[in-house]
């Protein structure tokens, strides 16, 4: 899970959730090969709208975006601005399902 924190030595403009540079380090340098999800994009620590918080998190490399405040209208915005599930997400969630069964 990414955090809504700025790692200024890596990306002084974006939080980890919105930083392609941070996501790239997680994937390439650390070698993480599983699902990367955002922290809750409805938290007030992010400065953008729900729409921009959603699209920027996906565009930066998050595989899933969390929206946790329970506001239905915002949920619809997140869903509208989310890509279809990729084969990567389907594969990873299927693997998890097999483990917990």
pTM: 0.89
Report whether 34 contacts 75 (CB < 8 A): no
Q: How many CB atoms lie within 10 A of CB 43?
A: 15
pLDDT surpassing 80 at residue 84: yes
pLDDT surpassing 80 at residue 96: no
How far apart CA 57 and CA 41 sit, in angstroms, is: 9
Q: Is residue 9 part of a domain?
A: no
Q: Is residue 1 part of a domain?
A: no
pLDDT for 7-19, tens place per residue? 999 999 999 999 9
Q: Is residue 59 part of a domain?
A: yes
How far apart CA 91 and CA 30 sit, in angstroms, is: 21
How many structural domains compose the chain? 1
Q: Is residue 69 part of a domain?
A: yes
Q: Is residue 4 part of a domain?
A: no
How far apart CA 38 and CA 12 sit, in angstroms, is: 18
What is the residue range of 23's domain?
A: 16-100
Tell me the Ramachandran region of residue 70: left when phi exceeds 0, alpha when psi lies from -120 to 50, beta otherwise. left
pLDDT for 28-54, tens place per residue? 999 999 999 999 999 888 889 999 999
């Amino acid at each position: 899970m990414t955090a809504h924190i700025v790692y200024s030595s890596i990306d002084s403009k974006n939080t980890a959730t919105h930083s392609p540079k941070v996501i790239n380090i997680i994937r390439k340098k650390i070698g993480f090969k599983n699902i990367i999800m955002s922290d809750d994009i409805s938290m007030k620590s992010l400065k953008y709208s729900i729409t921009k918080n959603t699209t920027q998190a996906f565009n930066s490399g998050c595989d899933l975006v969390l929206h946790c405040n329970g506001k239905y209208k915002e949920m619809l915005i997140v869903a509208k601005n989310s890509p279809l599930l990729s084969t990567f997400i389907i594969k990873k969630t299927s693997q998890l399902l097999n483990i917990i069964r």
